Structure 1
Amino acid sequence: MLPYKANFLPFRAQRLYSHSFEPANLEAAEDNHLAKSTGPHIFVSLAAPSLNEMEVQAARVGGASIGYELRLDALQDYGDLETRLHQMLLRLHVPQTIATCRRSEAGGSFHGTVQEQAGVLAAALRAGCQWVDVEIESVDRAGSSWLKQFQAAKVIVSYHNYHRTPALGRIHHRLARLPVPFIKIACRASKLRDNLVILDLLKKHRRRTPRLVALGLGAPGLPSRLLGLKWGCPFIYASAGEHLGVAPGQLPAETMRAVYHVDHLDQRTQLFGVVGSRASMSMSPAMQNAAFQAKRVNAIYLPCETNQLSDFLVLARKKGFMGFSVTMPFKSAIIRELDWLEPLAARIGACNTVAVQHGKWMGWNTDAAAVVEVLTKRLRLAGSRILILGAGGAARAAAYALRAEGAVVFIAARRESAARRLAGAISAQVVPWSSADGLDVDAVINATPVGMAPYVDASPIELARLRARVVFDMVYHPLQTRFLAQARGRGLIAISGLEMLVAQGARQFEIWTGQAAPRALMEQAVRQSLSQPAAV
């Protein structure tokens, strides 16, 4: 932790700051390409064995800013394609449509020749498609003069690398020499800093012809997809719904519009996010972006998935993140990067919230505060006997917070050595795991992942012998765990992990913005997100 003095009070007494959302070095001279664009901002990729199935997918999404990309290489029957596709487009009210027939050598499903590929695309144009996308491999095989047959359409020549993000300058130069209005570069992002390579390319060629679409594939590339319009892409790609993506990391159009509001971002939009090894699965983007929208804060909260904290730090510092959440496995490692750390978080040895104030990185542990908040609604913590199941990071935050409130804490974990270390640090009592269900306590907290989807039939302990008034399960997916079902069946007070998730997220929002968090709306956003599991 860097030597920086900050006159901060402990979290509960701290006066929350409010920072300006007008960055000092605003790119005010940049044209707002979204305001000027008359075409779709989002093309929804449709891939199915039949046109009927594609039409069903298309019916799920729509709007003035939506177009479609038809992955014709997915079709099983090309018979009478022109007529059938024309009728489909008429039923869809002739939307802006890209015809793509990706050959297998470029990662698609079409096994025909380049000439046969051209035949499919030509039929699609006659049927009413206004765009075609052809891969650079086909152009290389047939020569650039092959493109002349599509000159009545808006042509995109695309490059895909499904293995890595190479140096993109030469690739762009190669594509930009072709006589087409649009070029596309899509590369697998193996780390978050690959997004910076894509951003640099977009910024360099923002106003040039041909127009450039660039994006990262996979979970680490999600920032490039979500910030693509802000960074200068003329349009971006999305799927028609969950599990319908045609490329790694492709998000549903509804998620991109309703959760991330990608077509409303501008040069003033501030960046926040969540960093962790499974950040793409986090519920926090849905929760925090809903809060930003409700409070009219011009900000976006991004999933930043990586296995190396240093990888995220490069992105966060270069792009000027104003704050971020920290999940496993970085809650301890982030402490070395902070200028100031809340005293309780320092004692716990874990930080889950970072805010940037006047260029300084400040850290908190809102998990600990959330545990206290949800339990004080049901118990007077001072003197209460509380059993904590587990000895990992979540258990550690709960144990330190509850001991600070004067509770008598018992620790039970399958790894008794871990339980003893935690108990010794806070003067708690260790209980053997095999006898934990025989205690007489006021509350029991499940701070283990037992019962989390997909292992929903598991329970950390049986409640038949345990004497307790309150049962608190930190697991929030599913909302009704077997552990909580047992508690409710016995007439006990049951607390879902969703309440803690929203409580810690609300405190994060308040730290970042200085505004009261819209908690009910945040909970609603999480519930909706849980009902639609993501596939990245």
Structure 2
Amino acid sequence: MNSLTLICAPVMADTVQQMVTLMIKSKECGADLVEIRLDHLKLFNPLQDVPFIINNSPLPTLFTYRPKWEGGEYEGDEGKRLDVLRLAMERGADYIDVELQVADEFINSITGKKPENCKIIVSSHNYQSTPSVEDLGNLAVRIQSTGADIVKIATTAVDVTDVARMFHITASSQVPVIGLVMGERGLISRILGSKFGGYLTFGTIEPGKVSAPGQPTIKDLLDLYNFRHIRPDTKVFGIIGKPVGHSKSPLLYNQSFKSVGFNGVFVPFLVDNVRNFFETYSSTDFAGFSCTIPHKEAALQCCDEVDPVAKSIGAVNCLIKRPNDGKLLGYNTDYIGAITAIENGLTGTNFTDVRSGSPLAGKIFVVIGAGGAGKALAYGAREKGARVVIANRTYDRARELANVVGGDAISLSELESFHPEDSMILANTTAIGMHPKVDETPVPKHALKHYSLVFDAVYTPKITRLLREAEEAGAIIVNGLEMFIGQAYEQYERFTGLPAPKELFRKILGEH
């Protein structure tokens, strides 16, 4: 329906004066309208306060007086509640939100009295799940039949694939629809409104001060996701992972897309089941993906074609939807980024001289972890002539990978006493030490003196406990940001067909 989705700031405060302050702030943040949540007011005199709010709002107003039974705060008399909404309408509110359960009664009571410029939003909230497309469609028809000007359906994401059903409703509806899916798995429903025809989305003024689970800030919508540039023909890219909220990829790619005017948006997909994800988001509108822990191996099984290097590694971290036939192509750019960063660390340069061979040749290269990233580093180190040793919590998985790459295997507990020689190289590819568990480390400090270089694929925090202790033990350290940047160059080029803006990448990550 609508190609320009509005941003609405929910305004929740104890007093009317605080609300006015927040409304002014909403405008400064870039909101298009404000939702006045009357049910949050501790002191409220409707006859005096409603006109005061309307007269002092710098933006169009949407009045909501949400009862407890629909997830709000109001517990009083229903008749009085609806009287207040009628008052707001009469005094010049731009939108009124009423719940489906009382919509027929409310709309019948205002027949012939509704001002021309006031729109009635009839809303339904499901805090448990997201119904089937058929049930959502029937619900939209039921809401429309009340005489609503705008249909609002808010559901809850149990899985990221639930959002696709809501996109179907907003994209195919002939009337304005606000379709939102709550929770972290539903975040994309709030970002991609303009692509799939949503009437408005909610963005908060401050992080954490939300009126429903999973709301982003207005700042993130505008600055991180370039919300005003998203159109029906915008290509969607994203990072598939679990967890995924820590990722810097949306920041990196969206700023880079914007800098060259590339019509794409990059979003986080919190994915539980990779196969379900790809089967659901099969259209070429979803054009490319970065893939992170723990899905790199499972994602390979979903590809129609896999690059030979990725096949050897047994994991993909970059997936592209081929535009002409929609086939899913898998690549691995992890090992390039990581191995280059480690070589650069050893030589103290950004330019390894290919003719003189790799500084990894002949060195013992210990990889912690036998997942997708572990496989990538083991493969890359072996290609460079290193002697590879895999250390993993479960020895069988370490042995399995060691057999594939022609290396040796030890259990993680053996790593502490493993030092056949000094000047070894250590690469952690597990999530040990990643935010929020920043006090964890895979190797005790005293064992780090046998390594000349220690690399950690974790990049939140930038300096993990492992790296801090390795530096104290005298090793060169290389953080996961270097691997992240290296693999991101190639992914960007595959996503866009354009050369990666390398200086911009470093600048963005340096600032954040």
TM-score range, shorter chain: 0.7 to 0.9
> Structure 2 residue aligned with 1:478, among 461, 472, 486?
461
Q: Which of residues 193, 212, 233 is equivalent to 1:247? A: 212
**Contact kept in structure 1, 2:122 and 2:150, CA below 8 Å:** yes
How many residues in Structure 1 have an aligned counterpart in Structure 2? 488
- 1:456 and 2:435 equivalent? no
1:234-273 CA distances to partner (integer Å, 9 max, x unpaired)?
Answer: 3222222321222122111111111212222223311222
Residue in 2 aligned with 1:294? Answer: 259
User: What is the CA-CA distance between 1:398 and the residue it aligns to?
Assistant: 1.0
Task: Please state if 1:488 is matched with 2:451.
Answer: no
- Tell me the CA shift for residue 312 of structure 1: 1.4
How far apart in 1 are the matches of 2:47 and 2:339?
64
User: Secondary structure at the residue paired with 1:317?
Assistant: coil
Q: Deviations over 1:441-466 (max 9, x none)?
A: 34222222222122222222233452
* Paired AA for residue 104 in structure 1: K
**1:410 corresponding residue in structure 2:** 389
Q: Once the two structures are superposed, what CA deviation does each residue of 1:50-71 show, in whole Å capped at 9, x if it has no partner?
A: 4455456555543565221122
Query: What letter matches 1:454 in structure 2?
Result: P
Cα gap change, 1:219 to 1:455, in 2 (>3 Å): closer
CA offsets, 1:172-216, max 9 Å, x none? Answer: 22211233422211122333443332233223324x4xx222222
Structure 2 CA distance for partners of 1:390 and 1:197, relative to 1, 3 Å: closer
Following superposition, the deviation at residue 49 of structure 1 comes to 3.7
Map 1:307-456; keep pairs closer than 5 Å.
Answer: 307-318=272-283, 320-357=285-322, 358-359=324-325, 360-379=327-346, 380-431=359-410, 432-436=414-418, 440-456=422-438
Distance 1:54 1:524 in 2: 38
**CA root-mean-square deviation:** 2.8
**Any gaps of 5 or more consecutive residues in structure 1?**
1-30, 35-39, 530-536
Distance in structure 2 (CA, Å) of the matches to 1:59 and 1:450: 44
1:80-91 maps to which residues of 2 (within 5 A)?
80=45, 83=48
Matched with 2:78 is 114
Q: Letter of the aligned partner of 2:61 in structure 1?
A: T
Residues 1:274 and 2:239 aligned together: yes
> What percentage of aligned pairs have identical amino acids?
30
Could you tell me which runs of 5 or more consecutive residues in structure 2 were left unpaired when the two chains were aligned. 347-358
One-letter amino acid of the structure 2 residue matched with residue 73 of structure 1: D
Distance 1:143 1:58, change over 3 A: closer
- Alpha-carbon spacing, 1:137–1:522, altered in 2? closer, same or farther (3 Å): farther
CA distance in 1, matches of 2:75, 2:511: 40
Structure 1 residue 415 displacement after superposition: 2.9
Q: TM-score, normalised by structure 1?
A: 0.82
* Distance of 2:59 and 2:377 partners within structure 1: 54
Greater RCO (Cα-Cα under 8 Å, separation 6 or more): 1
Cα distance, 1:117 vs. partner? 1.4
- Secondary structure at the aligned position of 1:332 is classed as helix
Distance 1:51 1:458, change over 3 A: farther
Deviation at 1:439, TM superposition (A): 5.3
Calculate the TM-score normalised by the size of structure 2: 0.86
Q: Secondary structure at the match of 2:451?
A: coil
Q: Is the 8 A contact 2:2 2:194 kept in 1?
A: no
Residues 94 and 128, structure 1, Cα contact 8 Å, conserved in 2: no
Query: How far apart, CA to CA, are the structure 1 residues paired with 2:290 and 2:237?
Result: 8
Indicate the residue corresponding to 1:16 in structure 2: none
C-alpha contact 1:309 1:334 (8 A) present in aligned 2? yes
- Name the residue aligned to 1:22: none
CA distance in 1, matches of 2:298, 2:113: 54
Alpha-carbon distance in structure 1 between the residues aligned to 2:65 and 2:509: 38
- TM-superposition CA deviations, 1:107-130 (whole Å, max 9, x none): 211111222212443565577643
